[in-house]
Amino acid sequence: MEIHTDIYLGDSKDQLARLAVDSVDLIVTSPPYADQRKDTYGGIHHDKYVEWFLPISGQLLRVLKPTGTFILNIKEKVVDGERSTYVMELIIAMRKQGWLWTEEFIWHKKNSYPGKWPNRFRDSWERLLQFNKNRHFNMYQEEVMVPMGDWAKARLKKLSDTDKIRDTSKVGSGFGKNISNWIDRGKAYPTNVLHLATECNNKNHSAAFPEELPEWFIKLFTKRLDTVLDPFMGSGTTLMVANKMQRHSIGIDIVPEYCDMVKQQLRPIELYLL
């Protein structure tokens, strides 16, 4: 069985035009954040970020299948003592562009560096925004279930009366819970918070994903032989993981060295799978 990997060198805005309409099952990506890492690959001013990103998200909307999902890793920085609002402005602009903003996951960076700031604490999380084209999209929740663990031992030992019947949601969501249903079950669904360490040292890139991050979303939103795209691939973490999980992958980066590096690293994996 052959797993395809396509790597394109250039600006995503232009390169994405080469991909077919409705051809991608999952997009997982971390674009440069506003004004960040200027020395490495050029920052975009936070006032110009939405204007810069919209042509790219327009192309992503075109190439994503109607059943597909787009996961965008992003975090607003502090400008003049205030959090910049460009991420919020981007969400609103993307909704106008035709995207549904379906969910927001939090990446809790378990090992972020300690530090001291006069008016804030250590930043240890980033946003993982989920966008879709439709309300009904492919999602394989059983693939990311977690062991019940200690929560079950402590919580299920002392069931209250409301725990034993279906308890109508107090927030009017229409969903209730019957906690006793979970007795004797080995696994539960996870929350929308991902507790993952950051990863920089063992990759030739200053802002690489930990492998578990694309892995979790690839499990949740794709099946074997589906296609995963990272339009800002950097060191190619998304592509490597997709490849190992037997998904086709497409990567784009504007820096030639990253494209060469990813091609070199992917070669042995591709040969192994052929």
Ligand X SMILES: C[S@@+](CC[C@H](N)C(=O)[O-])C[C@H]1O[C@@H](n2cnc3c(N)ncnc32)[C@H](O)[C@@H]1O
Residues binding ligand X (CB under 6 A): 11-12, 30-32, 41, 205, 207-209, 232, 234-235, 237, 252-255, 258
Instruction: Provide the minimum distance between the beta carbon of 27 and ligand X in the complex, in angstroms, as a whole number.
Output: 12
Sheet holding 125-132, edge to edge: 5-9, 248-253, 227-230, 24-29, 64-74, 125-132, 100-109, 193-196
Q: Which residue, 12 or 57, has its beta carbon nearer to ligand X?
A: 12
| Phi, psi values for residue 141, rounded to 5° | -60, -30
Per-residue DSSP letters for 240-267? Answer: HHHHHTT-EEEEEES-HHHHHHHHHHHH
Q: Which residue, 152 or 207, has its beta carbon nearer to ligand X?
A: 207
Instruction: Provide the minimum distance between the beta carbon of 44 and ligand X in the complex, in angstroms, as a whole number.
Output: 8
Distance CA 241, CA 217 (A): 11
Q: Which residue, 64 or 213, has its beta carbon nearer to ligand X?
A: 213
Instruction: Provide the minimum distance between the beta carbon of 60 and ligand X in the complex, in angstroms, as a whole number.
Output: 12
Instruction: Provide the minimum distance between the beta carbon of 108 and ligand X in the complex, in angstroms, as a whole number.
Output: 17
Q: Which residue, 16 or 64, has its beta carbon nearer to ligand X?
A: 16
Instruction: Provide the minimum distance between the beta carbon of 200 and ligand X in the complex, in angstroms, as a whole number.
Output: 10
Cβ pair 247, 27 in contact under 8 A: no
Instruction: Provide the minimum distance between the beta carbon of 255 and ligand X in the complex, in angstroms, as a whole number.
Output: 4
Distance CA 172, CA 230 (A): 38
**Helical (H) or strand (E) element with 64:** strand 64-74
Q: Which residue, 42 or 149, has its beta carbon nearer to ligand X?
A: 42
Chain-centre distance of CA 93, in angstroms? 19
Instruction: Provide the minimum distance between the beta carbon of 39 and ligand X in the complex, in angstroms, as a whole number.
Output: 12
Distance CA 194, CA 204 (A): 24
CB-nearest residue to ligand X: 234
Q: Which residue, 41 or 182, has its beta carbon nearer to ligand X?
A: 41
Instruction: Provide the minimum distance between the beta carbon of 213 and ligand X in the complex, in angstroms, as a whole number.
Output: 8
Give the residue ranges of DSSP H helices in the chain. 12-15, 38-41, 49-63, 86-97, 149-157, 161-164, 212-221, 237-244, 256-273
Q: Which residue, 67 or 265, has its beta carbon nearer to ligand X?
A: 265
Q: Which residue, 152 or 250, has its beta carbon nearer to ligand X?
A: 250
Report how far apart, in Å, the C-alpha atoms of 193 and of each of 103, 204, 208, 213 are.
11, 27, 19, 11
Dihedral angle over CA of 125, 77, 57, 47, nearest 10: 170
